Structure 1
């Protein structure tokens, strides 16, 4: 448990209020006492600020162990890591903050073994109320990698062209989406009201875990086709016991050994359900995932004959690009769980089985598969109205860690220099300095190793302190008090030590070119940070996920499989490919269609 600190009661005030009070006193508008009353700030703090006892007055209370600006960068890195699907837990945060302090040579007396504890974490979360502990949803690595801007952009380019060529940009009733989902007799109990602090809150479920596959098909106008239920079984006897009359109107029933969709069932559904209920208007577009049962040769041939165009989504992207997954199946699961809980609570003897399942699902079907949810699904996926930017950027960010980084510059393109500063060094002509967060510095003698990267490199100049006898901090060159200062920082741990360069002229040239910076501590021995990019680099290395591909690894020039992207299954190329695959499997003659004419290819050795 964190320590319960008893805080003195103080009137809260903001940083802006203190700055306004200081400004009014400096301009002579108010006295210190009057300004404290007008802006509701502490009079003593205002007095000390004007007397420059505090350079950067902030919130009341003692200073944080880590500078506020650095904490803010850490908070932003935590948010970005969570968006990329690589979120950081509380324990990982404490360990990585300790690593950051060691890397940047920050000694914090409050940290035990240079690692923050629970007290610091509680304070950190209070200082950053936009952060909270969240339980992430599951996302497969393949989905995170495939849902990237390049694949999604190419998909929308082709989808827009298809809709334009077919004249369906203003015909939502002709744009369809189909997919399967599973429903188990054992549902997930809904949340209930119970005594606060109860250790065991239970909810009744069915003792049977039978799974039923549900095939749904909807269009962009909000219409829906009759569902298809697939039960587990090898004969029609597996359908016995189901109350088929209680199922949604027009429901088709079928059986399969595992209760899954296969090629035969997919062909029967397309012929008996889709073609019968899609309407007479042509052409029409059917968007679906790349499951093998959706790409059989019979379905493609039937679609071509009936002027139905089938577009297969890019693999592992249905959670972002498929309307049913986005806005229909989620509400359907919730409605099914609610209805199951209601049914079991009506009578202790009630149970979810073959007889009761169709009626329960029928209620959930009518509730969730509504016109509003269906239209919202097509709109959120950018299909209708057509909008390539409809997919939220947050859905694409998990692909960032798997993106290939740009190749690094060679070592010949980098400029590195190490020098020892003395009180006789001519560094007064250095560039102007900018203020930043403060870092405590030891008062003993130190020397400085300055590493500067060349033009175009992502690395920024860094300054490393090391104990030496030829210079102390107090002997640093004098700089105008109006100029602020930068801090002592360390390079990345795996960087090699640059060669020595003790030539003063070389050092002066580096300073004048802006490749290195000059700093000086204040009277209290505190050093201000100037190069925030150095902190950004260190925080990114520790808190943000690394890219999975090695920087120096050559680009993959191997052609990718066509099935790794979206495909128009009714195109001539895909049709011929499917026919050749079927001919290989069945050893039959094949035919293909060009300009509505059938061409038969007799049996002959196929050329690979």
Structure 2
């Protein structure tokens, strides 16, 4: 009432000083100023000073609660992005710049609706070992609730994750040697990044490869690698890492291939809380296509994510082995083409049904057994046993001499002669045996060398064939399946062939017209010469024994 009286007084006496009126009517000066500027009260009618209506804010609260219940971390940026999506959907289609909430809107919304912001902290190994149990128990309880309440069967439980590759970088390998020190092997290194997005089910299935390569343009050479399967999808990004757009494209790829063999009505998708997996578009697509996204607890994927725990380790191992093999075969430059040629074989070795099912079993998801993970956490608290003492140095009674003499032809004869002389000196026999062993070892190494040379030649021919393929830009950004890209390449080839045919036809036509013109000019000259008497009249023989003079001069 006092505030209304103060406003009425200023309306009657416009020259009144605001500070004096505020003192006389006992109202805060700042509040009086805001009312004079037309700004309403902060409390009581939020629909008048917030961008969203009460109904829209209530819907947003329910949405946040649902994401929190399925373990997807909701950040302040996500709340702001969702509010902007609501405003955009409400705006007119002709409005090119729809309204957006302010920078501090999300913080005020969180405070207004009683939410709290808790930091997501990275725990060191000791703290994590002592604090993870309660968090993991809560995770398994939520997981069971979601599975039972939605009637999800084991074949429809999926796990997705991303793993990065440096396309020409392997890892340290165990080598067979008698030496006690490290072995160094020269490997041509290409540190270009590539990201594979994989998904496996508790039933042992795997989704076709979704690969992101570094670059801006799709190149035709990539899709001419015969080892790639037609349903493989390739995307590009400047860094070789995924982004929001790629995550949504992958989700559509997953939906297309997993829907074919869905047993129940809904699919459960277990994934980490990466920001690209919690965008409004990603969650909305899941809702529209009967996919239930479920997030892991922070910093726990090394314990509860099947791909992390079991599958990705052999994935990287087989990739490193494949690189090692092609380098030993003589490939001196690892490019995207070599990587694409290897990755399909690496996947076939990695994503076997037994490996995938073991991954879900080890993480306690299927069969449902939280003790698998909880016991592992308990074991981490125990002291690690000391490493066994190293064995003594290896030794050999003698070293087999290796020479270049070709002794294989006479080895059997020498042995026969030695057997016919039983009284030969033992030391002499020993020397002959060592000599023959060295010669046979040399022959064996020659077989291995010839095999390696053959493989090197094959690798060189393969690399040369790939380099000789025409490399043309197919598309800027986005994703392409191998089948789509191969169709585009074939279309380009057909266009090139059609252009070549048109060039040949044009050349033939020019040649024909040139000959026609030449004969026409020759006929004109001969006609003129006959008129001038320089040539005899032309006699044309129509039938044997009969003829006629050409009337036309």
Fold conserved between structures, TM > 0.5: no
TM-score by length of 1: 0.40
Which of the pair has more CA radius of gyration? 2
Greater per-residue helix proportion: 2
TM-score by length of 2: 0.44
